[in-house]
Amino acid sequence: MGEAKRPLAVVTGASSGIGADFARVLAARGHDCVITARREDRLRALAAELEKDHGAHVTVIAADLGEPSGASRLADAVFALGRPVKFLVNNAGFGVHGDFVEQDPARLAQMMQLNMVSLTELTHRFSQHMVAHGGGKILQVASVGAFQPSPYYAVYSATKAYVRDFSQAANWELRDKGVSITTICPGLTRTEFHEVADHIKPKSMDALMMDARTVAEIGVRAAERGRATVTPGLANKLMEWMIKWWTPRWVATAMAGISMRPGAKKAAPAAPAREQPERPQPEA
């Protein structure tokens, strides 16, 4: 298949984990890809893999979306390619675990910039672009943490609630313009999220872990079908249902606080990895 006949997809946070798997799924489904994150070496290794395995043309753009100008620079670089973008995955994000009053304000600001502000700017610019070029799909990565307040992930879960509510509202506005916005709300997924968040998860949570490739496939299929939201995995669906319809909000908050209470810490906190594929914990 020639480059000109393949639709173009943009994936943020593609250097590892679910972001890399979003790119793999889209390339396997016939897309060329623009992949972006901070770690250019990992992006280039992924680009070589996608070109070899799927015949995709892959453009690598190293970008830091945790910086205020990161989203604007990325959008400008993508549009400079001169090709219509048909699929955007806003996957980049990270979490900070621990007592809110003890957290680094600069890191919290970076998280809010990445999880909300840059995501909003990219959604705005690419939805305008898609409307002007005949339509497209946008896939936003939220979290099961979006359904309730989560002590010890207080700011993180709030950013994901924003992603969910903003994306559902914008999707409704775009319903007659050929563009759909799908929000995926994963739970525990096998990625680097816990290390980046400086969170040691209980062994009891291992049974709830989903494979990143499975989550990526569920998200892409849902976006292709124009679904507004999707929560992958039976356990996560049950959690969402219980929180939304059966559990008083104060009880859900207390349960999350017990589940997410900080335990033993690693010797040194992980460095921020703002374009790491965002993988939420089970915040219920």
DSSP labels for 168-201?
HHHHHHTTTTTEEEEEE---SBSSSHHHHHT---
**Which alpha helices (H) appear in the chain, and where do they start and end?**
17-28, 40-54, 70-79, 105-112, 119-132, 154-173, 193-197, 212-224, 234-245, 249-260
Contact 191, 262 (CB under 8 A): no
End-to-end CA distance of the chain: 45
**Residue 116 CB contacts under 8 Å (≥ 6 apart), including other chains:** 159, 162, 163
**Residue 87 and residue 85: Cα distance in Å, rounded?**
6
Active site residue 156: yes
> Which positions are catalytic?
156
